[in-house]
Every structure is written in structure tokens, then in C-alpha cells.
């Protein structure tokens, strides 16, 4: 049996040095041990050229072999492997925001008007509807980023009019944009794919969680609480489970819960949807949305002499931290948020945090299992000394 190629240990690559040694031995076996096959000899040079070509073929065979497995396939090959288990790579999603036009009352702002973020010309948002500017200044227009991906627009920064409109003199956004996502890369897709393999069994909490995350678009987080007792626990009825989901279409969520849950187990929640069974009957499927706990921050920093720090830099760091928190993740002031600030050119900082405006405490914020900390630039106040 060959020591190279497909073996019980997987694919063993025949390297260039192995190929050359093999050819040199064959030449000597045919023509005698005295034949000169050194690199500078004619035979040696021929062996070198042919061996290099063979080595490229072996590398190609290795690439073909590795493209068949999710832990080594890349790009389109990983997509094709994933389809065998019914999984697809998450596509890029556009960012969305609500814009406020400023101008002469009665001015019609057409759909397709482009506004960009001040100081970030590549963060361009487009209006999705035609609307007239009202005299009371209450006009709000739904917008999305021109391109799919993680385009940010902090409150008050969507201000540069790229598409001139007569009577339109300004633009703003009251709240931060809901940031989209880039197309799932190989590492992210592979991680999610393996998680689905590990938790694909229906009827289990992890199986339910995996089914929802894998099969419902625009999902960001899923949390499951089970009650396997004969008593009501934390408002969850006996022998039931409570699923809290962030993102996704409600009808599709209910369908996936029904498909993956164990027979006879109640799906409890504040939102109840009816799902049709294979026999034509309907069953009630419950789930809930998370409670978003607002997080207010007052941050004062003292920067080093001769250095420049902007409010937006600090806010970006805080928002990146906050947007990565999920169900039940506490807001850690010390050392987490403080460590983010110490990476800047500062020598001291004071952090006040709370769940209402004008926060006064400096300890961590506890987030319950059905809650998610809600960070927004409008709730962050920065003072730079």
C-alpha cells in the first residue's frame, strides 16, 4: 500500500523532495548506481523539471481532497459541502436608519435620495419612500445603506446631502442606524456549521436553538429556558419551554419551533402564533422577544498632553463592546469598559453608568437572562479634558 495519497490517516501529500528521490531511485535501478543524477547533471535537471510538474499535480489532488470536508473547504467549495446538510452561508445585510429631512414645508423628497455620514463618505444611505416635508418637522423617512454590510450612522451624523433636492436644506437622524452585516466569511460559516452538526437533534434545547439560528433569516440571538417540573417556575408552565428570540420573522420562528420541538411539550411565550400541522390541525406556538435594558453612560477622560481624541472614537469603542453583548450578559464597567478607554491616549477616566438618564453609579449593570443591554450613541455623554 502506498504511503502517499488517500490513506487510512487521510490524504498524505507527496512532496517535491519525495518525488525527486523516487525518480532518482528508479533511474539508478534501470541504469546502475553509478549514473549521475545530481542537480547539475542533464538527468538531474530533467528529473527536477518533471518532479516539479508532478508536485503541482499532487498539490492539486490535495486541494480537491480537502474541498470535500467542511473543516478544510474554502469559498464556494465550503458552500457546496454545507448544502449537503441543508445549510447556507449568511448573505450580507444592509444597514437601516430613519432619517429626518430639513427644509421648506411641502418639499417632496423622492425615493432614492442619497445622504451620507458626515466624515465617512462611503457610509451612504438611500431613502426607500417618497415623502413630503411637514411644517411641524415630524417627517421621518425609512432608509437603507446603498451597499450591504456594516455601515454605521450614529445619531446626528447622517447629514451630507449627496442628491440635491430643491427645498431640501439639511438632514439628520435622531437615532443610530441598525448596523447590517457583511457576508459571512469562511471562519464564521464553518463555526456555525459545526454548531448545527453538534446540536441537530430535535427535541432538545440546543436542537431548538440551532434550528432557529440556522433556518430563520436575520436572527441575532436565541435563549431557551426549560421547565421540566410539574410546577410553574419563573412564570413558565410545567413541562414546557420559553424561547426568547432577537430578530427574524415571527411566522418563520414559530414554524421552526414547531418543527424542532419534542411532541407534547408546550412552547410558551408572550407572542403566540398558530402553526398548521401535517394533518391540517393548528397548534399554538409561543415565544417572546427580549427586554432591551437601556444603558446610559457619562464618561469623562483626561487625555495626555499633545494627543488628540474625539468623542466619536470613544463612542465607537463603547458601541462595539455593547453590540456584542447578548442575553444575560452583564455590563462590566471595571475592568472591561475601563480597559477599552485605557487603550487610548489618556491618563485617567471616570465612568458613570445606569439605566436612566444622568447615571450616577460606577458599578456593573446586571442583565437578566431574558434581557439584552441596549447601547445607543444618544445615551452616551463624553467629556474630554
Which string of DSSP letters, residue by residue, matches 251-274? HHHHHHHHHHSPTT-EEE-SEEEE
* pLDDT attached to residue 376: 93
- Could you state, in chain order, the average pLDDT of each consecutive group of 10 residues for the chain (385 residues)? 83 93 92 91 92 94 91 92 85 94 95 95 95 90 96 94 95 93 91 69 73 82 90 91 92 92 88 91 94 95 89 92 92 89 87 94 92 94 93
**161 three-state secondary structure:** strand
The C-alpha atoms of residue 219 and residue 242 are separated, in whole angstroms, by: 17
* pLDDT attached to residue 203: 63
* pLDDT attached to residue 192: 79
* pLDDT attached to residue 351: 94
Going by C-beta distance under 8 Å and a sequence separation of 6 or more, which residues neighbour residue 182?
A: 92, 148, 149, 150
Residues in a beta bridge with 97: 143
The full set of domain ranges for the chain reads 5-66, 96-172, 199-289, 293-384
* pLDDT attached to residue 301: 93
Residues in a beta bridge with 351: 299
Is residue 342 within 8 A of residue 349, CB to CB? The reply is yes
* pLDDT attached to residue 196: 67
The C-alpha atoms of residue 152 and residue 135 are separated, in whole angstroms, by: 29
In terms of Cα–Cα distance, which of 313, 248, 282 is closest to 90?
A: 248
Q: Are strands 296-303 and 346-354 parallel, antiparallel or unpaired?
A: antiparallel
The C-alpha atoms of residue 155 and residue 379 are separated, in whole angstroms, by: 10
Which string of DSSP letters, residue by residue, matches 37-66? -STTSHHHHHHHHHHHHHHHHHHHHHHHHH
Amino acid at each position: 500500500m502506498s504511503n502517499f495519497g488517500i490513506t487510512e490517516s487521510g490524504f498524505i501529500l507527496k512532496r517535491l523532495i519525495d518525488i525527486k528521490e523516487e525518480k532518482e531511485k528508479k533511474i539508478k535501478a534501470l541504469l546502475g548506481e553509478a549514473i549521475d543524477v545530481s542537480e547539475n547533471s542533464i538527468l538531474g535537471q530533467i528529473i527536477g523539471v518533471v518532479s516539479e510538474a508532478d508536485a503541482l499535480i499532487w498539490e492539486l489532488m490535495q486541494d480537491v481532497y480537502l474541498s470535500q470536508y467542511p473543516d478544510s473547504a474554502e469559498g464556494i467549495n465550503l458552500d457546496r459541502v454545507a448544502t449537503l446538510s441543508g445549510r447556507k452561508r449568511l448573505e450580507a445585510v444592509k444597514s437601516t436608519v430613519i432619517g429626518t429631512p430639513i427644509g421648506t414645508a411641502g418639499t417632496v423628497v423622492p425615493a432614492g435620495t442619497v445622504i451620507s455620514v458626515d466624515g465617512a463618505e462611503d457610509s451612504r444611505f438611500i431613502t426607500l419612500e417618497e415623502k413630503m416635508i411637514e411644517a411641524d418637522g415630524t417627517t421621518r423617512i425609512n432608509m437603507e445603506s446603498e451597499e450591504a454590510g456594516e455601515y454605521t450612522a450614529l445619531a446626528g451624523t447622517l447629514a451630507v446631502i449627496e442628491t440635491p433636492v430643491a427645498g431640501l436644506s439639511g438632514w439628520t437622524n435622531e437615532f443610530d442606524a441598525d448596523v447590517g452585516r457583511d457576508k459571512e466569511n469562511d471562519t464564521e460559516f464553518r463555526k456555525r456549521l459545526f454548531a448545527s452538526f453538534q446540536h441537530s437533534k430535535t427535541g432538545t434545547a440546543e436542537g431548538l436553538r440551532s434550528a432557529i439560528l440556522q433556518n430563520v433569516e436575520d436572527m441575532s440571538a436565541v435563549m431557551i429556558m426549560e421547565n421540566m417540573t410539574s410546577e410553574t417556575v419563573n412564570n413558565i408552565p410545567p413541562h414546557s419551554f420559553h424561547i426568547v428570540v432577537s430578530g427574524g420573522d415571527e411566522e418563520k420562528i414559530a414554524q421552526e419551533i414547531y418543527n424542532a420541538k419534542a411532541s407534547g411539550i408546550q412552547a410558551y411565550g408572550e407572542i403566540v402564533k398558530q402553526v398548521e400541522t401535517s394533518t391540517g390541525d393548528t397548534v399554538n406556538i409561543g415565544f417572546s422577544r427580549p427586554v432591551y435594558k437601556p444603558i446610559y453612560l457619562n464618561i469623562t477622560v483626561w487625555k495626555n498632553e499633545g494627543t488628540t481624541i474625539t468623542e466619536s472614537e470613544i463612542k465607537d469603542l463603547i458601541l462595539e463592546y455593547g453590540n456584542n453583548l447578548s442575553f444575560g450578559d452583564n455590563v462590566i464597567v471595571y475592568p472591561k469598559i475601563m480597559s477599552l478607554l485605557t487603550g487610548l491616549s489618556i491618563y485617567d477616566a471616570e465612568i458613570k453608568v445606569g439605566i436612566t438618564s444622568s447615571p450616577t453609579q460606577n458599578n456593573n449593570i446586571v442583565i437578566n437572562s431574558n434581557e439584552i443591554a441596549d447601547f445607543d450613541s444618544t445615551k452616551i455623554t463624553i467629556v474630554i479634558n
